[in-house]
Amino acid sequence: MHYDAENSIQQEGVMALVRHVALVSESNNAQMSDLLRVSAALQKQASRDLAPIWEISATVDAFAKLEDVPDGYWPMIIKDNIGYNAAGIHMDKDGQPFALISSASTVDEWSLTASHEMCEMLVDPSGDRQMTSDSPKAEQGRVSFLVEVCDPSEAADFAYSANGILVSDFYTPNYFDPVTASGVRYSYTSAITAPRQVLRGGYLSWKDSVSGHWWQETWFDGGEPAFRDIGAADAKAGSIRAFVDRLTGTRTAQAIARGRVSAHGAGLTVAQAQRSLGATAAMWREQISEILGRPDRRRTTKQAAKKRPRGRKR
């Protein structure tokens, strides 16, 4: 597959083809209540933010177990104790993508990872979509960039929130424009302000066709980004994305672990959002009681449960 930044973006197949993403937890760190809230946030990000910019269309739903996921869905599975080589997007035997997400102690951390993988899976299902533009290394001329929309601004610092859930920034097709222009959006949050810019904690990968080597601009340490030659793609790794992710997985995890405290554009925290949701739910309950002509039992049991000492379940 080959795309040119100066031509309009080509899409595989029909424009309005709907992709279905399934979120499943196999970790005690991600309970069903959180899983449902994250899937609603990812659905909102996919249809409100990602869809108009990348011309994709997707549904996102949570399922209690992998066995419940319908055929044709792309699963994203949250798991404990998976290494950096295993985390990320893989292809199944039918050539369809699925993602393994490392669980984390905070929802912010795994929701940000899940959002990163979801956006990249939807924009580049096969893991080898490329777009041509000028290399950040001047002497290389035109090169072929791997289209992984979250990598350059992957750090939690540039994340934003949907329904109070932390989700990843992603670049737009203008990221591969030849020149910087005013009023052009290079990433969803506008944290990226110029084409092919790499922000702290992020990276960008491309292939130099003369040497056949893949190169990266990374900003993992120090005060500015650095270049590195990562060699020819390893066919055994699967997709180009899998080859690249093996080299950067640890760094991505570190950049994401900085968390909400450093996320300038995040807005409401889950706890803050939850406060107003609680008030709305109470309003609904009151009105339902009025309609039914009797007090809401559920509310009274919930309030009673709150008074019960912690750690004791009956």
**Binding flag, residue 34, Zn ion (CB under 5 A):** no
Beta strands in the chain, from DSSP E residues, in sequence order: 3-4, 18-25, 57-63, 74-79, 88-91, 97-102, 130-134, 142-146, 160-162, 165-167, 203-207, 214-218, 226-231
Number of shown-chain residues binding Zn ion (CB under 5 A): 3
- Tokens 């995040």 belong to which residue? 266
Q: Which of 63/154 has CB closer to Zn ion?
A: 154
CA distance 96 to 118: 14
By CB atoms closer than 10 A (0-12, 13-18, 19+), residue 149 is buried
Of 15-23, 144-152, 230-238, 289-297, which part binds Zn ion (CB under 5 A)? 144-152
Contact 220, 203 (CB under 8 A): yes
Query: With b meaning 16 or more CB within 10 Å and e meaning fewer, what string describes 105-120?
Result: eebbbbbbbbbbbbbb
**Binding flag, residue 148, Zn ion (CB under 5 A):** yes
Q: Are strands 88-91 and 97-102 parallel, antiparallel or unpaired?
A: antiparallel
Contact string (CB under 5 A) for Zn ion, positions 64-103, x = contact: ----------------------------------------
Contact string (CB under 5 A) for Zn ion, positions 259-278, x = contact: --------------------
Of 29-37, 136-144, 146-154, 265-273, which part binds Zn ion (CB under 5 A)? 146-154
Closest distance between Zn ion and the C-beta of residue 161, in Å?
Answer: 19
Q: Which of 1/281 has CB closer to Zn ion?
A: 1
Closest distance between Zn ion and the C-beta of residue 221, in Å?
Answer: 19
CA distance 101 to 80: 9
**Binding flag, residue 169, Zn ion (CB under 5 A):** no
Closest distance between Zn ion and the C-beta of residue 150, in Å?
Answer: 5
Contact 260, 271 (CB under 8 A): no
Q: Which of 87/270 has CB closer to Zn ion?
A: 87
Closest distance between Zn ion and the C-beta of residue 218, in Å?
Answer: 13
Among 34, 124, 134, 151, binds Zn ion (CB under 5 A): 151
Closest distance between Zn ion and the C-beta of residue 203, in Å?
Answer: 9
* Chain contacts with Zn ion (rule: CB under 5 A): 120, 148, 151
